[in-house]
């Protein structure tokens, strides 16, 4: 059984090969187009760390990411924390080849460890955020790449 009871899992199949999806989730120039536009740098290497600020409607979230696991074109896992906010999350991106398509599974764990009085950390908000990023933003980005 999963050690985190409040995991969020979002899946999406793309009409793209795994290496194209991998590039979209690991190359900073591509990540900035569909994920966070202010990611300063990113390298798919275990131990790599980056940080950047994201402004919500009412507060600021200073993201701290550390890469824990990297299997090129297959899996990448981050430790995902915030400066001055207690809690520790883990986000795993897994790619599965299905003929010429790729299934991406994103698992967000550890949500329960963040302050529950901050609305942005509610299960509903986090799940909606991941669906927006994966099922809308990344999907649109990859469809545009396929048409070039």
Pairing verdict, β 8-14 and 101-109? antiparallel
Q: Is the pLDDT of residue 147 over 90?
A: no
Tokens of 117: 């009085």
> What's the pLDDT band for 6 if we cut at 50, 70, 90?
confident
Among residues of the chain, what percentage have pLDDT more than 90? 86
Asked, for residue 130, whether it belongs to a domain, the answer is: yes
Phi, psi of 117 (to 5 degrees): -90, 5
Q: Residues 90-136: pLDDT tens digits?
A: 999 999 999 889 999 999 999 999 999 999 999 999 999 999 999 99
Q: Is residue 1 part of a domain?
A: no
Q: Is 83 exposed, middle or buried (0-12, 13-18, 19+ CB in 10 A)?
A: exposed
Residue 1: pLDDT band by 50, 70, 90 thresholds? very low
CATH code, 50: 3.30.530.20
Q: How far is CA 79 from the centre of its chain?
A: 11
- 56 pLDDT band, cuts 50/70/90, is confident
**2 in a structural domain:** no
Asked, for residue 29, whether it belongs to a domain, the answer is: yes
> Is 43 domain-assigned?
yes
Residue 3 counted as domain residue: no
**Domain total for the chain?**
1
Mean pLDDT of 70-86: 97
Domain assignment of residue 24, yes or no: yes
Residue 15 lies in domain: 8-146
Determine, yes or no, domain membership for 81: yes
| Residue 46's pLDDT band (cuts 50, 70, 90) | very high
């Amino acid at each position: 059984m999963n050690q985190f009871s409040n995991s969020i899992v979002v899946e999406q199949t793309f009409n793209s090969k795994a290496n194209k999806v991998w590039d979209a989730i690991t190359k900073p120039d591509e990540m900035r187009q569909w994920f966070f536009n202010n990611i300063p740098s990113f390298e798919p290497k275990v131990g790599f760390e980056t940080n950047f600020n994201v402004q919500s409607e009412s507060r600021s979230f200073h993201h701290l990411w550390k890469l824990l696991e990297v299997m090129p074109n297959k899996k990448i896992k981050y430790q995902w924390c915030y400066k001055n906010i207690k809690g520790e999350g883990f986000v795993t991106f897994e790619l599965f080849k299905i003929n010429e398509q790729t299934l991406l599974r994103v698992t967000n764990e550890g949500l329960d460890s963040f302050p529950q009085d901050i609305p942005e950390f509610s299960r509903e908000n986090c799940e909606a955020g991941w669906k927006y990023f994966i099922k809308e933003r990344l999907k649109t980005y990859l469809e545009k790449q396929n048409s070039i």
